[in-house]
Amino acid sequence: MTLTRLAPFGASAWNLAWWRHAAPAAAELRVVVVRDDAGIVGIAPLYARRDGGVTRYGVLGDTVCSPVVPLVRNVCTGDSSGNR
């Protein structure tokens, strides 16, 4: 799962650094994993924070970069490189 060359903001090292240094105050780390019968289809690194009694979710890095690319398996080829 090598996205770093094409989409550095999807790299786990970049997400971890963002989480440690730029995460919103009182945010909690969340990871969403989507599966089908063949296995994992996608992984999205998220954070959750309470705002006026409502839980709001955001993608790691959303405050400083665009686009953030969740890791998604190409359902036609099974490729998880981020290429389509």
Residue 2 lies in a domain: no
- Closest to 59 in 3D by CA, of 46, 42, 50, 43: 46
Residue 31 lies in a domain: yes
Q: Is the confidence at residue 25, as pLDDT, over 80?
A: yes
Residue 81 lies in a domain: no
**What is this structure's pTM?**
0.65
* Both tokens assigned to 49: 């924070």
Residue 84 has what pLDDT? 44
More confident residue, 38 or 80: 38
Q: How many domains does the chain have?
A: 1
| Parent domain of 48 | 8-72
In this predicted model, what pLDDT tens digit does every residue of 56-83 receive, in sequence order? 998 888 877 755 555 556 655 555 554 4
> Which pLDDT band, with edges at 50, 70 and 90, does 44 fall under?
confident
